[in-house]
Structure formats: C-alpha cells, structure tokens
Amino acid sequence: MAVVVSPRLVEEKVKDSPLLERAFKTVAGDSEVKELLRMSNVMAVGRLLYNDHGPVHAAIVAGSALEIFDILYESGVTPSTLADETLDDPDEARMVVLLGAYLHDIGNSVHRENHELIGAMLADRLLDRLLPEIVPEWSVEKRVRFKSEVLHAIYATAPGVEALTVEAGVVKVADATDMAEGRARIPYLKGKMDMHSLSALSIKRVEIDTGSLRPVRINVYMTSYAGFFQIERVLLPKVKTTPIREHVEVAPYLLKAEGPPEPLPLIHP
C-alpha cells in the first residue's frame, strides 16, 4: 500500500520499536537540536528566502527514509552496517537512517554553502552527547562506529557525493521526496515565478510504494509537466549517487481536473 510522504509518517514508523521511539523522542525533543533546526530556517528561509529546511523537513525526511529502508529490507536488501558488521541488528541500522535523516540539514544553521559537511561536523558533537542517553549500554567503540555511519549519511546528502552505504543512500533519496506543495529540494526564491517555483508548485503529492519492477516506487503527482524539473534536477541525481539506484523506480502521474490521474512512463534511474 502506498504511503503518503508527510511529517506524521515518522511517528508511525518508530512506534513499534522501543529503540527507535527512544531515539526519536531524544533527538526531536533536544533543545540544541530544536534550535539548530530553527536557525537552519532563519538562514534558509529568513535570510536567503529559500524553502523550508527546518523541523518539518527533518520529520518528513526521517519518516520517508524509514519507509524506504523497510521496503528494501523486506525485499532482501542487506543494510551495509550489517553486511560490514559495524552494527548488530536491523533496528540499529534503522536508527542510523532515522538520526541521519533528522539531522541532515542542521548545517544550514551556519550557512547554505557546504551545509552537508558543516552538518556532519555539528552532529559529531551532538551524537557524543545524545547516544549515551539513547543507548547507555553501548561501548565507546560501538558508539564510534554508529556515529561514523550517521555522519556519512549526513555528508553524503551533498550533490555529487557518492553515498557508500544503503543507509546513507536511503537518507539521500528520502531528502528528495519532500517536494509536494512547493516543498521542492531545489532552493528557490519565495514569491519569484520561475521554473524552480513553477515546478515546485506543480507537485501536489508524493508517495512511497512497492514497485512493479524494483522494490521501491516513488509516486509523484503533478498538475503540469513542469513537475518533471524537480524529478530530473533533484530526485534522479540523488538516486543515481547511491547504492540503491538499482532498487528504485519513479512513477510520475499527471493530475486532471476530472477523472483519475494519468500515469506517465515509469522512470528507472
């Protein structure tokens, strides 16, 4: 069944796992994390007049990332942290995805330029403080391994940087799924009518589903063909720089005034 990308999805995804629920409550409720995300929007929205990069975006990406991860895992894709034995069980791999996704944009609190690298540097210290609260039983060595995986997921969201793990790839693709109702991941000037804004506003809904030929399908519903600009400039480049590129397909749909959405040709990155 298709799942709509939304800020509420993350709460559904963590509720059945005590580890994930504890991790989400800890990071989302932390005063420093809250303020970093608020400052990310001061910089991105308030000073650069870009679209949202704050707490709502963080929640959307976290939920989307966990949904993509679960579909891949259920289809037989092995998480890199388990294949490489840096972590021990699927919930720990999911926690890499959760924290990487939730913290991936905190670098915007300093500057838009190089914000992925800045975000990884900020998250390094944050995780040193938060991980003992979430998993006090972990050894120092395990916290270091886990932290390295999360920092990689944050840094690898940068355009042109190759994600080297399934977990980082999931976060990178999930980042691009937050593009409905003007929430495009290409920063565009608020109030300015150009291809960036027109394409962003044309996308009305994004869903994550199981695919017909590949495990994950991303459904994109748009009111005009301008929405392809977001797919081609943001979503596909992110998918292509991840190890999950062979497991994702994109299904565009054209919304009409009357009748069901018109399915357009599937895209296989």
Q: Look up the pTM and report it.
A: 0.95
Which two tokens mark 135? Answer: 């998993």
- Alpha carbon distance 59, 53 (integer Å): 10
What is the pLDDT confidence band of residue 67, given thresholds at 50, 70 and 90? very high
Question: What average pLDDT does this structure show over 39-47?
Answer: 90
Cβ atoms of 171 and 104 within 8 Å: the answer is yes
pLDDT (0 to 100) of residue 198: 73
What is the pLDDT confidence band of residue 256, given thresholds at 50, 70 and 90? very high
Torsion of CA 151, 154, 156, 158, to 10 degrees: -140
Q: Is the pLDDT of residue 226 over 90?
A: no
- Alpha carbon distance 112, 108 (integer Å): 5
User: Any residues with CB less than 8 A from the CB of 242 and at least 6 apart, and which?
Assistant: 156, 162, 163, 168, 169, 170, 172, 173
User: Any residues with CB less than 8 A from the CB of 107 and at least 6 apart, and which?
Assistant: 40, 114, 115, 116, 117, 118, 119, 120, 121, 122, 154
Q: Is the pLDDT of residue 4 over 90?
A: yes
> Above pLDDT 90, what percent of the chain?
84
pLDDT (0 to 100) of residue 240: 97
pLDDT (0 to 100) of residue 185: 53
- Domains of the chain are 3-176 (1.10.3210), 192-263 (3.30.70)
Question: What average pLDDT does this structure show over 258-267?
Answer: 95
β-strand partners of 267: 250
* CA atoms within 13 Å, Cβ hemisphere of 104: 34
Cβ atoms of 150 and 127 within 8 Å: the answer is yes
Instruction: Give the CA distances from residue 208 to residues 71, 219, 266, in Å, rounded to whole numbers and listed in that order.
Output: 9, 6, 14
> Above pLDDT 70, what percent of the chain?
94
Q: Is the pLDDT of residue 194 over 70?
A: no
Q: What is the pLDDT of residues 127-149, one digit of tens each?
A: 999 999 999 999 999 999 999 99
Q: Is the pLDDT of residue 106 over 90?
A: yes
